[in-house]
């Protein structure tokens, strides 16, 4: 929890970057086929725009993890071949329209199916990023951006195997795929109401599916603020559905004795932090991966256009007053009461889909403006 920051005592410093370049980079090539239709009916009071697409990107430029023995942590490479195909739908209906009032309802729907077709060097998988034991991986034949992390050791019946000395679950050597970072679909809904000189609109977004790594969830587990850390009113407890090694088990000499027996070793107050946080504890690693689903009231806008009769003596063509609120409401699954799923601290390329590392909360904002056209 400490470090040296320069300038130190008035002395500056330089640090060598941990990303190595690549003189063999080639341009990224994308080919796309698309077919669609634009339908407008009833004097455009009902419109429908549908498009199907199939896009293949060859040689995407990305930073990937390389062995630290190279002297660097990452290298820029041409990242294999990735396919994106899916459907985009945009629809608008105007249920009410008269001299004084109009209501327009618009919706957009996007469903994208992603697949890694090829990876450099014909490797079956490539680790894109690793943080605290959680990996963002590209696996040939699967959607790009699979999250893998530590998991429990379990018996053949799915019971969690714990350490018989402290009751803490044992962690498996291999990492488990939790899920992908990409959504199943994204839906947007816009309502626009016009009444005389007033215009009121709001936008709702719904994202379904996908997971993210959350450094904020990790930190909440560390300090004991996560909801899960309140289990059993923070009193000692036995891990549910758990077993421990049977000291009398002998696969060779006594195979009829069960390998595991019911666990009776509680997590004591002394070990509660070791249960919820350390990187070696499966519960800690798994709790860093949270659902990316959300329902969000993206923004609300209210505007009033000043009647032209009040502007006739001024060199102004049009004037309006506008009030706007953004990022007003957010609903997430119960597993995520930590962070806005749209938060990221990993740049703006594919790695940004990894999630966030202890970022600040997103901002709710309110603005007012006067717009004047001369």
To the nearest whole percent, how much of the chain has pLDDT over 90? 63
To the nearest whole percent, how much of the chain has pLDDT over 70? 98
Q: CA-to-CA distance for 296 and 200, rounded, in angstroms?
A: 18
pLDDT band at 280 (very low <50, low <70, confident <90, very high): low
pLDDT value at residue 3:
67
pLDDT value at residue 266:
96
pLDDT band at 283 (very low <50, low <70, confident <90, very high): confident
Greater confidence (278 vs 41) lies with 41
DSSP state of 154: B
What average pLDDT score do residues 329-342 get? 95
pLDDT of 177 strictly over 60:
yes
pLDDT of 1 strictly over 70:
no
Structure tokens given for 147: 């999250």
Specify the pairing of strand 125-131 against strand 134-139.
Answer: antiparallel
pLDDT of 203 strictly over 90:
yes
pLDDT band at 281 (very low <50, low <70, confident <90, very high): low
Structure tokens given for 3: 């470090």
Q: CA-to-CA distance for 54 and 69, rounded, in angstroms?
A: 40
Please give the model's pTM, rounded to 2 decimal places.
0.84
| Chain length of the chain | 374
What average pLDDT score do residues 34-38 get? 97
Q: CA-to-CA distance for 137 and 176, rounded, in angstroms?
A: 12
pLDDT of 350 strictly over 90:
no
pLDDT tens for each residue of 105-130: 999 999 999 999 999 887 899 988 88
- Which residues lie below 8 Å from residue 310, measured CB to CB, with a gap of 6+? none
pLDDT tens for each residue of 72-88: 888 888 888 999 999 99
What average pLDDT score do residues 147-171 get? 92
pLDDT of 282 strictly over 80:
no
Q: CA-to-CA distance for 50 and 36, rounded, in angstroms?
A: 5
pLDDT band at 10 (very low <50, low <70, confident <90, very high): confident
* Average pLDDT of the chain, as a whole number: 91
pLDDT value at residue 46:
96
């Amino acid at each position: 929890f400490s470090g040296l920051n320069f300038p130190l005592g008035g002395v500056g410093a330089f640090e060598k970057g941990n990303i190595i370049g690549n003189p063999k980079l080639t341009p990224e090539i994308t080919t796309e086929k698309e077919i669609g239709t634009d339908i407008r009916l009833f004097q455009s009071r009902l419109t429908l725009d549908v498009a199907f697409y199939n896009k293949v990107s060859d040689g995407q430029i990305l930073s990937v993890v390389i062995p630290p023995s190279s002297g660097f942590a990452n290298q820029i490479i041409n990242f294999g071949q990735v396919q994106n195909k899916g459907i985009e739908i945009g629809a608008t209906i105007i249920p009410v329209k008269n001299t004084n009032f109009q209501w327009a309802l618009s919706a957009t729907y996007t469903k994208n199916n992603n697949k890694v077709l090829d990876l450099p060097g014909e490797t079956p998988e490539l680790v894109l990023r690793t943080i605290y034991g959680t990996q963002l991986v590209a696996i040939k034949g699967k959607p790009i951006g699979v999250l893998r992390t530590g998991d429990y050791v379990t018996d053949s019946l799915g019971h969690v195997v714990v350490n018989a000395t402290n009751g803490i679950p044992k962690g498996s050597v291999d990492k488990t795929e939790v899920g992908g970072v990409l959504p199943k679909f994204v839906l947007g809904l816009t309502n626009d109401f016009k009444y005389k000189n007033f215009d009121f609109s709001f936008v709702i977004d719904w994202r379904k599916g996908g997971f993210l790594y959350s450094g904020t969830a990790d930190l909440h587990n560390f300090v004991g603020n996560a909801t899960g850390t309140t289990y059993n009113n923070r009193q000692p407890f036995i891990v549910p559905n758990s077993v421990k090694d049977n000291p009398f088990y002998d696969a060779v000499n006594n195979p009829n004795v069960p390998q595991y027996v019911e666990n009776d070793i509680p997590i004591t107050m002394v070990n509660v932090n070791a249960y919820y946080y350390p990187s070696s504890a499966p519960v800690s690693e798994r709790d860093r991966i949270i659902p990316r689903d959300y329902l969000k009231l993206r923004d609300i806008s209210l505007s009033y256009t000043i009647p032209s009769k009040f502007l006739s003596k001024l060199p102004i063509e049009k004037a309006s007053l506008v009030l706007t609120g953004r990022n007003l409401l957010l609903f997430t699954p119960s597993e995520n009461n930590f962070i806005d799923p749209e938060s990221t601290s990993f740049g703006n390329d594919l790695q940004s889909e990894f999630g966030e590392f202890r970022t600040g909360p997103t901002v709710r904002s309110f603005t007012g403006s006067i717009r004047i056209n001369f």
